[in-house]
Every structure is written in structure tokens, then in C-alpha cells.
Structure 1
Amino acid sequence: MKRMLVFSAHAADFVWRAGGAIASVCAQGGQARVVALSYGERGESGELWKDPKQTIERVKAIRHAEATRAAQALGASFECLDLGDYPLRVNDKAVERLIEIIVETAPDLLLTHAEKDPFNPDHPVTYQAVEKARQLATGAGVASAFRTVRPPELLLFEPHQPELCGFVPTLFLDITPVWEKKQKAMEAFASQGYLRQYYSERAAHRANHARRIAGHKNIERAEAFQRVLPQVVRSL
């Protein structure tokens, strides 16, 4: 039973980029914990701000409800650190909290954003904070004077425009069996409904790539990830 931990810069990022992976782990009896660093209340909730009487606190409440419903549709839990967005600032106290979460969860799989993104300043900040927390939570791979966990596999999920972010897929995941769950999770985010079509099309494109690589003709939807660390195996 695998344990997955997902760090999302904003409340909805995990759905678009890793919803299928989360649903796949949970469908196989695993556990998935989603932690958003912010609600994306300022820069990720444009539909909600069309209301002239809208407030920050109301947007946060709506986004929390949407993210919770989306996570439940995938079989995961959701929580938010509410650090604010655009810009997202992760101070030492927040990094310590990320370390605590990693140690508490002791994940087998750790997912977060790619290292670069010229269109979203919050995504690289999240990567840097998570990578630092991962190294500290695992004792940088050696025995330490504080509690550590076994190093999890670190995967970066696909940015909105991968070719401009230095993102090179090294893993394609077939999410065809859980595609309906990801669709339901995407539908939970009325605040960013315009992204549903884009990520539905992206899943179909990645499935095309996966079919050509693996020769499996029944892959209809897929998600792409990039490994940060080499895979260690006992045999080929």
C-alpha cells in the first residue's frame, strides 16, 4: 500500500497535473495526502472575482470547498497552509512545517511542481521549498541527529507549457482506468472551469505518446512526470 504526498502551490494545481496519479494510488488501496501552500485566491480564481462584492475570505472558503470535493473524488485528503499567492512566500517556519508533513506522512511518492515556470512565480517557489524540505526530512540520505524518513521517489508534474519550463517527461502514467474520477475532480473547480478542456486534451496527447512508446493500444488518457533522482533497481 503506497503512500503519496502531493505539494501543490495553489488549491487546484494537484487536480490538473496529478489527479490521475492520485486516483490511481488510491484505487489500488494506497493513501494520498494533498497539501496546498496557498488557495490561489488572488491569481488563480479569476472567475470568482467577476462578482464585484467578492472578498478574499469568501474566495478562500470557496476554493477550500472545491479542493476538498476534488480530493474526495480522487480518494485523497486535502489541507491548505494558506501562505498567500502571487507572490507565494515560504519562510523558514513554513519550510519547517513542510518537513514535519513529510516526516509525518513518510511517503513512498512525493509529487510537486517543476523547477522552472516563466509564467507562474509561485510554482518554482514551491519546488524550491519542497526540495529543501525533502532533503532535510530524509537527512540528505545519511544518518542524522533528528528524526528522518526513507527517501521517497520524487516526481515533478507537468507544467502548463512544458517546453518553456525545461520539463522533459521521463514517466508516463496510464490513467485510463481512473479518468472518470479525474473528470469529476476537475468539475469541482468552477473557479477555473476553463482549464478542464485544456487538461482533458493534454491527457489525450500524453496517451498518444505513451501508446507509441509502450505499444499498448488501450491507453486513452495519461499524465506525464519527470523524475528528479535516478531509479534504483535490483535487476533490469
Structure 2
Amino acid sequence: MRKKHIGQLCAITDTHIQSRFSHVELARLALQGGADIIQLRDKTLPTSELFCIAKEILTLCQALGGKLIINDRADIALAADADGVHLGQDDLPIAEARKLLGENKIIGATASTLALAKQAEFDGADYIGFGHIFPTSTKHKPEPPKGVLAISEIKKSLRIPVMAIGGIDYENIGEVMRAGADSAAVVSAICCAENPEAATQEIKKQIAEAIK
């Protein structure tokens, strides 16, 4: 199957670790700063509200040249006609999400081990969200950070892109990309920044420096 382009930087919107910016505002600022993908992530909003936010962000993505991925919710991705969905281990199986969304939509899958990553690839995921790479405070993680060497190891065994996640910011994203990550997902380094647009620009600058 043809690889789908996921870009180098995914900005994950979060209104729980900060309350200054809404999902839509964060999406706009990140896109203006150069984010390739916006991942809308909110596990508490009512479905109707999440759908409306998704539609707003999709309009922004279409205007500013980004893609919209919905975290967990294949139904919202389908209803909003988003570019895809990112699934965790407890979400809808990849094969079932593919039946819903079709071959042209992006399906990402969280995988914290090589075995899970290989299974997700076999099941039809378009990319792996792999981590956590560094210590992170946005999610409780019982296992220790993987570190950048784990990126190099997992890349050797997969044909689909690897999106690194977990504690990534402008200071360490260079080593993440040099280790072989195709992309990186960033949460607090953008959402909690004083200026999310400028923070996104700086992260993209560090990516460009790392891969040139």
C-alpha cells in the first residue's frame, strides 16, 4: 500500500494542561507556525461539541495547508471528514477503523513496543506513534522513557513511518529526528508555550537543521 504523507510535525491540542487557548486557537497558531498535522485530543468533551470543534479545525487545516487527525474517535473522524484518526490500544481495531474510513484516510496507531508496532503495521496502520521518548507530564506513564536509541531500533523493523511522542520540545527534537523518526508529535512544548505559534516555528526550525 502506498505510504501516506504525515509530515514532520504533529501538534496535539490539549485544553487540560492549559486553559489560555481553545482547541481551535491552538490549531490556528500551530498551523501558522508550520505544523503539518493537528491532532485533536480531548477525552472529556461531549460528542456533539467535539464534532463541531473538529469541523472548525478542518476548515483551518484546509485554509492553512495542514491535516486533521482525530485522537481515538473514528466516528468523529468519519462524520467530520477529517484526514484520519489516531488509535490507542483500547480504541476501535485498526481493521474496523479502515472499514469505516476507507483506504484514503490516515490511520495512526500507538505502539510502545516493537511487537505492538509490527502488529499495527500488519493490521494496516499508516504510521506508528512511538514513545514515550522522554519524560512527560501530559499522561501517566508507568514504564520508563524509551530514549532516542529506541527510535533507531524500531525503524529497522518497520516499513511505515514512525512518529515519536513524549516529552519532545525544541531542545531535543533534533536528536529525535537524527535518530530516524519520520515525524514528531508535540503537546506541552506548543500548548503551554507563551506563544504557541513562535514555539511551533522554533521546533520546525530545529527539525530543518537536524535533517539537512
TM-score, length-scaled by structure 1: 0.36
Q: Over alpha carbons, which structure has the higher Rg?
A: 1
More helix by share: 1
Instruction: Compare relative contact order (CA 8 Å, sep 6+) and give the higher one, 1 or 2.
Output: 1
TM-score, length-scaled by structure 2: 0.39
